[in-house]
Amino acid sequence: MSQHEPVIAIVGAGFGGLWAARALRGLMAKVVLIDRHNYHLFQPLLYQVAMAGLSPGDIAKTVREITRGQRNLEFRMAEVHGADLAEHRLDLSTGTLNYDYLILSVGSETNFFGLETVAEHAHGLKDITEAVGLRNHILSMFEQAAVEPDPEKRRAQLTFVVVGGGPTGVELSGAISELIRLVLVKDYPQLNFTDARVLLLEASDRVLAALPEPLRAATAETLWRKHVEVRFGAAVAGFDGQRVNLKGGEIIPAHTLIWCAGVRAEHLVDTLGLPQASQKRVRVEPTLQVPGHPEVLVIGDAAYLEENGQPLPMVAQVAMQQARLAAANIRHMLAGESLGSFHYHDLGTMATIGRNAAVALIGRLQFRGFLAWGMWLVVHILQLIGFRNRLLVLINWIWDYLFYERAVRLISEE
Ligand SMILES: Cc1cc2nc3c(=O)[nH]c(=O)nc-3n(C[C@H](O)[C@H](O)[C@H](O)COP(=O)(O)OP(=O)(O)OC[C@H]3O[C@@H](n4cnc5c(N)ncnc54)[C@H](O)[C@@H]3O)c2cc1C
């Protein structure tokens, strides 16, 4: 490769970064894709790793394998600690990297809104380590409860509190309840399963706020049917690992709190001196460039851009569509052409609530129940990267559906 070829650095091999890298295929440039992990993770199925249904390897694939064959791309596994935007230089755990263009697609991290005890004791669900940690914890609670003589302590061990009624909280609470009532009930005949509770706490008065009322109502009703106690107007104030404190004074004895109540842009963006908006996302122009640095583009969860007066949602489709525009705009800059602006093409929203149950909004069409669940399964299988992963996930799902099992009920080393 010639020394005069521009260097395009991309930070993050998630939905934004990986799609941007692929869209730069064939360009006479050196594309350097950097991630702290050596794999791309399909986050929408992460909760199924936490619920013992899938193995981490089923929903992740190494970046080197995915990008194999893209000759202008080099992958580096490294943590990006900071950047000198004036000098066009990244500070990596493995050294420095000078770039001509930079795409930041660093995603988001859990936001505990300053609740220190919650941050210390609660479980999050953002990466494989957290998902496996949560799986180990839930299964360990059942092992402990099986030999716990004190009924009050046993009930607290078997009480699982999920906070946040967004898609992740809904999917996770439905899945925990099914794991308990369809699978673990067979493993622990000595336990009285009326002791086991799953609560979904939501501070507002609705779950899945982005969906229309009939789908929200159907979701809450389905959760109840699946034995999830949905509590509205319930805001968490603290958690010491044994008790959940609600604002207003109520205490729920529980050894498990899973925090799905918010995210914010990855903390790396706080160090760059760029203008930030809500959830610490970086304000970008419609071209996805940051003010004052036309060579820097921010995309995905870390970027803040409004459409029709509303911030774009932090979802995979936004990241992937922005990735394509970011790559196209870098091509335009190199060719001296004018740049395109971002317009989100909303392909729809869906969430599964467990076996045979999901809700979906596609355009103006609303779906629920078995049909929505079937759509959810197809969409997620198709979106997974790699034939092997698709096959493994499909086999697991069919097995679990037919035999009421979860394949990965291991309490493993983290
Ligand atoms: C549990 C869960 C379920 C979800 N379900 C859905 C769903 O059903 N549908 C949907 O559309 N969206 C879903 N999302 C949201 C979706 O995953 C995100 O919107 C999407 O991943 C954003 O893409 P991104 O490229 O901005 O960030 P990501 O895909 O998160 O990628 C960011 C990458 O940057 C890397 N990185 C971050 N900081 C650094 C650093 N300093 N140095 C090196 N590498 C770094 C990370 O390792 C990561 O690989 C879900 C998210 C979660 C957590």
Instruction: Flag whether pLDDT at 3 surpasses 60.
Output: no
Distances (CA, A) of 99 to 20, 84, 246: 16, 11, 48
Amino acid sitting at position 222: T
Mean per-residue pLDDT, 40-58: 96
Instruction: Flag whether pLDDT at 2 surpasses 50.
Output: no
Q: What is the rounded distance in angstroms from the CA atom of residue 361 to the CA atom of residue 252?
A: 34
Q: pLDDT > 90: what percent of the chain?
A: 97
Q: Which atom of ligand 1 is nearest to the CA of 323?
A: 25
What sign results for the dihedral spanned by CA atoms 295, 301, 302, 307?
positive
Structure tokens at 256: 């498990």
| Whether residue 354 has its Cβ less than 6 Å from ligand 1 | no
Tens digits of residue pLDDT in 341-350? 999 999 999 9
Element (H, E) at 91: strand 89-92
Is 171 tagged catalytic?
A: yes
- Under DSSP, the state recorded for 261 is S
Average pLDDT, the chain: 96
Angle between helices 387-403 and 369-383 (to 10 degrees): 150
Distances (CA, A) of 107 to 9, 132, 299: 16, 20, 8
Among candidate residues 385, 367, 328, 364, the one with its CA nearest the CA of residue 219: 367
Distance 276 CA to ligand 1 centre (A): 19
Q: Which atom of ligand 1 is nearest to the CA of 41?
A: 49
| Whether residue 315 has its Cβ less than 6 Å from ligand 1 | yes
**What confidence tier does 414 reach under pLDDT thresholds 50, 70, 90?**
low
**What confidence tier does 23 reach under pLDDT thresholds 50, 70, 90?**
very high
Distance 115 CA to ligand 1 centre (A): 23
The residue whose CA is least distant from atom 30 of ligand 1 is: 107
Overall pTM > 0.85: yes
Who contacts 140 (Cβ-Cβ below 8 Å, separation ≥6)? 411
Q: Which atom of ligand 1 is nearest to the CA of 302?
A: 26
Mean per-residue pLDDT, 310-317: 97
**What confidence tier does 413 reach under pLDDT thresholds 50, 70, 90?**
confident
The single residue of 171, 178, 202, 266 carrying the catalytic annotation is 171
pLDDT for 349:
95
| Whether residue 17 has its Cβ less than 6 Å from ligand 1 | yes
Tens digits of residue pLDDT in 248-272? 999 999 999 999 999 999 999 999 9
- Asked whether 110 and 259 are in contact (CB, 8 A), the reply is yes
The residue whose CA is least distant from atom 25 of ligand 1 is: 16
| Whether residue 44 has its Cβ less than 6 Å from ligand 1 | yes
Mean per-residue pLDDT, 395-400: 94
The residue whose CA is least distant from atom 37 of ligand 1 is: 106
Distance 17 CA to ligand 1 centre (A): 10
- Asked whether 333 and 341 are in contact (CB, 8 A), the reply is no
The residue whose CA is least distant from atom 34 of ligand 1 is: 12
Burial of 368 (0-12, 13-18, 19+ CB in 10 A): buried
Tens digits of residue pLDDT in 94-141? 999 999 999 999 999 999 999 999 999 999 999 999 999 999 999 999
Tens digits of residue pLDDT in 72-101? 999 999 999 999 999 999 999 999 999 999
Q: pLDDT > 70: what percent of the chain?
A: 99
The residue whose CA is least distant from atom 8 of ligand 1 is: 44
- Under DSSP, the state recorded for 10 is E
| Whether residue 174 has its Cβ less than 6 Å from ligand 1 | no
Among candidate residues 85, 86, 77, the one with its CA nearest the CA of residue 35: 77
**3-class DSSP assignment, residue 69:** coil
| Whether residue 164 has its Cβ less than 6 Å from ligand 1 | no
CA angle 298, 76, 60 (to 5 degrees): 80
Tens digits of residue pLDDT in 202-249? 999 999 999 999 999 999 999 999 999 999 999 999 999 999 999 999
Element (H, E) at 352: strand 349-354
Q: What is the rounded distance in angstroms from the CA atom of residue 170 to the CA atom of residue 215?
A: 13
